[in-house]
Amino acid sequence: MQIYLNENLSAYHTFGIQQSCQVLVVVDTVAELMDVYRRPEWQSLPKIVLGKGSNVLFTEFYQGVVIINRLRGIDVREDENHYFLHVQGGEDWPELVKWSVSQQLPGLENLAMIPGCAGSAPIQNIGAYGIEFQDVCDYVDYLCLKTFQVIRLSRAECSFGYRDSIFKHRLYQQAVVVGIGLKLAKAWQPHLKYGPLQQLAGNCSPTEVFDCICDIRTRKLPDPKQVGNAGSFFKNPVLTEAQFQTLAANYPDVVSYPASSGVKVAAGWLIDQCGLKGFQIGGAAIHEQQALVLINCQHATASDVIRLATHVYRCVHEKYGVALEHEVRFIGRSSEVYLDMWLKEQQS
């Protein structure tokens, strides 16, 4: 375990914005993780666990303990029909996908290059190109912060939804994901319904799908190592059928996809049609090629990013009547905060 006081967080989250915390701890085992939560001197302090810090924005000095998950290890077994992977929570997700393809363990290729660690994947139910984490999930192991026991949830028990799971609701701040189980079918079939993937032949290989997605993401999305960002900043809004029909009547070119509870509208399209690509406030800007990505282009502050996100929200809402919800987590002085709370404060 490594402990740092008043540590600069810019190296621990992909936005790369200057912000600090009271205590930062790097843990390599579940035992060390338990120790952090049990230590008397830290009992009263708020705590947050980060893997790669790819989905967070620290809005101000964090008066608590930031825990960096470095739990590592991958185990593989198989039966007649499936490969089963047990992956420790601190494993890098993009590297896991790359490794699985190289090992001829197909099924994860559509989720290539999604930044973050394995432990974050079920919390967010990450997804891309027609596949979500829930589609490959067998189980999730978490450390219960009440009993300090490791508990296993089946896929059904995780209550997965669009960028949603039980870890955002009943188990919010009560659990830390320490491992995941993946179930990959040996009778692999490609998922080619989205975007440029439709150009691939039905008999393509997992490697060809992986390479295609990596090429798309490399061309369209900025590398966080080069330009600070947290990937897709806003969720794609899900509208009721009636809401969508009203929107489509006025904007027939709106990009949409079927969803279990209605129609999913492409947030990037809404933002792009507002003419916001490249728009900048302070050191934060909307990416020139992907309107869904907000970037740290010139030593942005957290305030720059929040003001830019607010501007995007207002423009989209005024033009389309659609309220965007941010996918990136805002971490305040002692807890998670939300853009709508900030908006209400500005209006009061």
Q: Where in the sequence numbering do the catalytic residues fall?
A: 163, 232, 327
Buried b (16+ CB within 10 A) or exposed e, 296-309: bbeebbbebbbbbb
Q: Are strands 20-27 and 62-69 parallel, antiparallel or unpaired?
A: parallel
Environment class of 20 (CB within 10 Å of its CB; exposed 0-12, middle 13-18, buried 19+): middle
The Cα–Cα gap between 6 and 296 comes to: 23
The Cα–Cα gap between 111 and 97 comes to: 7
Name residue 54's amino acid: S
Q: How many CA atoms lie within 13 A of 9 on its CB side?
A: 35
Sheet holding 56-58, edge to edge: 56-58, 329-331, 336-337
The Cα–Cα gap between 87 and 91 comes to: 7
- Per DSSP, 176 falls in state E
By the 8 A CB rule, do 310 and 343 touch?
yes
